[in-house]
Amino acid sequence: MSDTSSKSQPRLKDRLEVLCTEMIDKGIFFPEAMEQFEKCFILEVVGRHDGNLLRAAERLKIHRNTLAKRLARFKSKK
């Protein structure tokens, strides 16, 4: 990463703090925030592995069956 790109992008910690503030201001509390983070994170990793659950689970450091169960839970809550 070059100096110019690191200066133009806020640090991850700063971006996360802004997001947390927005969520709290909008009445989103910890359980829902954690669920949304987990869903977003998992779906991003699965997408980056073209839906291959074995590779995605390895990247997430969870068992493939656990990943499949979480994905099924996300689907059922739509």
Alpha helix locations (H) across the chain?
3-8, 12-25, 30-48, 53-60, 64-76
Please give the domain boundaries of the chain with CATH numbers for all domains.
3-76 (1.10.10)
Distance between CA 65 and CA 31 in Å, rounded?
23
Walk along the chain (78 residues) and give the pLDDT tens digit of each residue.
Answer: 445 555 677 899 999 999 999 999 999 999 999 999 999 999 999 999 999 999 999 999 999 999 999 999 999 987
Task: Tell whether pTM > 0.85.
Answer: no
